[in-house]
Structure 1
Amino acid sequence: MQIARRGLAALMLTPLAQRLARPALAQSAWPERPIRLVVPFGAGGNLDTLIRIVSPSMSQRLGQPVVVENRPGAGGNLGTENVARAAPDGYSILVGSNGALVNNPLLMARLPFDPARDFAPIGLGFRTPNVLVVAPRFPAQTLPDFVAYAKARPGQVACASAGTGTTNHLLIELLNAATGAGLLHVPYRSSGAATPDMLSGALASSMDQITTALPQHRDGALKMIGIGLPERLASLPEVASFAEVGLENGGLTSFIGLLAPAGTPAGPIAKIQAAFSAALADPALRQRIEAIGNLIAKPEEQTPEGFNRVIESERILSRRAVQLAGLKPE
């Protein structure tokens, strides 16, 4: 018996045994170094703001620094590709949204990554509704009146977006199809870029993210009259849902979630998902997030399976909107 024990101990000291044991040890010890959350846009935007609100809480729960890294460029493609090509070890995580994951594959003929093949969803974190905003002196100041006014003047009522192929542009197309409003799409260079023209009265309306439009709505400079959700928000009961004028489920929303490179082990994904969901459940953080107009994802959407279903649903709806707009991959 003693000889057998000595033999087993000797075996455990061999290089082969040590190599075989190393994956299990690494798995249990993960994370052993900082984790980077790659934001594929510049600092200061809504996506960047949201992930910086929750990253300190995630760091506390994971026991390692969670570092936000901005890698802007090519409509989100540069940062997205960076994570797609990273080692699948859980230390490089994408903060993903509609643009690179849904819209760009429908509109760009060549992408350096495949969202469905190259990523493993971790969990959805936030939804950012898009809203229809009108100038203060525009004749129609409710959503039904606005639709009726536009239908009587097809192609004459301009509605701005943050650019061709963006989520708010695609929502304009879905609203036109559902209501027959015949809005004239006017692409601007970014979210909020149309605000000066709205304030001057040179532009009738705009489809914008709620986070951009909410300050002007609250101070009365502009007026939100419609929101891309299945029902009205309790915090904004005066703003009608697009579902009220016939757009099924209110149309598209902008989403933000975490994804790992494909092939990342289940252990790190589960730990990141648990830390992310715990941060989202913190009442103080929720209050900060909702105060600027964002919505926390439902618990069932915060799982890998739930987030994957959200992405697939958005792909179907966005593909339809792209077809309605007559857009082709370039």
Structure 2
Amino acid sequence: MNIPNPSRRRALLLAGAAAFSFCTAATAQTYPSKPVRVIVAFTAGGTTDILARAVTQKLSEKLGQPFVIDNKPGAGGNIGTEMAVRAAPDGYTLIVNSVGPMAVNQTLYKSLPYDPLKDLVPIVQIADVPNVLVVHPSVPAKTLAQFIEYAKARPGKLSYGSTGVGTSSHLSSYMLGQRSGMDTVHVPYKGANVLNDLLAGRLQFMFATVPSVIQHIRAGKLRALAVSSEGPSRSLPGVPTVAEKGFPGFSAGSWFGFFAPKGTPASVIQLVNKTVNDVLPSLQEQMVREGADPVGGTPEQFGQFAQREHEKWKAIVRDSGASID
């Protein structure tokens, strides 16, 4: 076997490093050279889909290639998430995902064939979207305190809807009931159909994402009592937080951001991160009007945030007893 001398070996290593650097730089310069598929693990028209479409339109304009939304709903977001996990890590499949598939479902579902926080890499957080506690106008309460008093005087009589067992809307109501002593009935739905029954008065209240109900609040069809975020929502000025109304530490909002399959080139992650951060200011007015608070930041910040959310929701899901086979 012909073993090169030390000088020759160093030269080969330097040449290899240079070639790797060149390839990385070339990827950054040429990406994207064809359309990019952006998976959304939920139906068209939902909060994840609306935010993804707003941002991908700007990405298409800035980077000169279509960023095409591909809705793959089902199993609480697990179907679309697994598709992203299994996709080639070449930068041409990304996913805009949310708190459920990334931070809740690992604990909620008895067995997932992947680990979203290990098999997907964070790119950038798009937005925080608080949940808002809304009641049907037939409920006389005008404040959170009045609502809790009203509910506690009617144990087992009030029903709340959610977009499914173990979703943020379900667990937000569970947390409030646990901490306030309310005895209410959970009625899970598949997706956004819950709003129809809430608007019709067949349900009395729910925690819903602000974008899904903000127009109904403005029209007087629903009454907003409190938001579930740590701080006030720019989209609903004047609506207090649950935390400031007697439940310190109460935080149960939703969030959304870009992820990529593990192994996606760092140059792609950096380019998409930078471009999203560049375009978010131009979307701020629209996003706040529709119920979302733009975030941005680095991949590292987003990854650390997602890990903290996983730990928080793991404890809440286990305490609630929620489970899906």
Shorter-chain TM range is 0.7 to 0.9
What is the SS of the residue equivalent to 1:194? helix
- Report % sequence identity: 36
Report if aligned partners of 2:163, 2:170 keep a CA contact under 8 Å in 1.
yes
Aligned to 2:310: 315
After the TM superposition, which residues 1-330 of structure 1 pair with which residues of structure 2 at under 5 Å, given as runs?
A: 23-30=20-27, 31=31, 32-191=33-192, 193-282=193-282, 285-297=283-295, 299=296, 302-330=297-325
Report if aligned partners of 1:179, 1:246 keep a CA contact under 8 Å in 2.
no
Amino acid at match of 2:120: F
d(CA) in 2 for partners of 1:194, 1:107: 21
List per-residue Cα deviations over 1:86-120 (Å, max 9, x = no partner): 22222211111122112221121222321122111
- C-alpha root-mean-square deviation of aligned residues, in Å? 2.5
Change (3 A) 1:235 1:81: closer
Alpha-carbon shift at residue 220 of structure 1 (Å): 0.7
Alpha-carbon shift at residue 243 of structure 1 (Å): 0.6
Amino acid at match of 1:244: E
Alpha-carbon shift at residue 56 of structure 1 (Å): 2.6
List per-residue Cα deviations over 1:132-175 (Å, max 9, x = no partner): 11111212121111112223333332221111111110111111
Report if aligned partners of 1:154, 1:183 keep a CA contact under 8 Å in 2.
yes
d(CA) in 2 for partners of 1:237, 1:114: 38
d(CA) in 1 for partners of 2:115, 2:234: 38
Amino acid at match of 1:132: L
Report if aligned partners of 2:128, 2:293 keep a CA contact under 8 Å in 1.
yes
Alpha-carbon shift at residue 316 of structure 1 (Å): 2.2
Alpha-carbon shift at residue 328 of structure 1 (Å): 3.4
Amino acid at match of 2:292: N
Change (3 A) 1:77 1:141: same
d(CA) in 2 for partners of 1:169, 1:91: 34
d(CA) in 2 for partners of 1:34, 1:199: 40
Report if aligned partners of 2:234, 2:288 keep a CA contact under 8 Å in 1.
no
> Which runs of 5 or more structure 1 residues have no equivalent in the other structure?
1-16
List per-residue Cα deviations over 1:233-254 (Å, max 9, x = no partner): 3442342211123333442111
d(CA) in 2 for partners of 1:26, 1:60: 25
Change (3 A) 1:83 1:189: closer
Alpha-carbon shift at residue 45 of structure 1 (Å): 1.8
Report if aligned partners of 1:252, 1:317 keep a CA contact under 8 Å in 2.
no
TM-score scaled by length of structure 2: 0.87
TM-score scaled by length of structure 1: 0.86
Amino acid at match of 2:25: S
List per-residue Cα deviations over 1:276-320 (Å, max 9, x = no partner): 1111122xx2111111111111x4xx2111111221222122122
d(CA) in 2 for partners of 1:21, 1:71: 40
d(CA) in 1 for partners of 2:40, 2:194: 25
Change (3 A) 1:245 1:186: farther
List per-residue Cα deviations over 1:186-238 (Å, max 9, x = no partner): 212223x2334333433221221111211111111111111111233344234
What is the SS of the residue equivalent to 2:128? strand
Alpha-carbon shift at residue 69 of structure 1 (Å): 2.0
List per-residue Cα deviations over 1:31-61 (Å, max 9, x = no partner): 1333221112222222112111111322333
d(CA) in 2 for partners of 1:54, 1:90: 17
Amino acid at match of 1:280: L
Alpha-carbon shift at residue 18 of structure 1 (Å): 10
What is the SS of the residue equivalent to 1:240? coil
Alpha-carbon shift at residue 262 of structure 1 (Å): 1.3
Amino acid at match of 1:28: A
> Which runs of 5 or more structure 2 residues have no equivalent in the other structure?
1-13
Amino acid at match of 2:318: Q
d(CA) in 2 for partners of 1:90, 1:112: 22
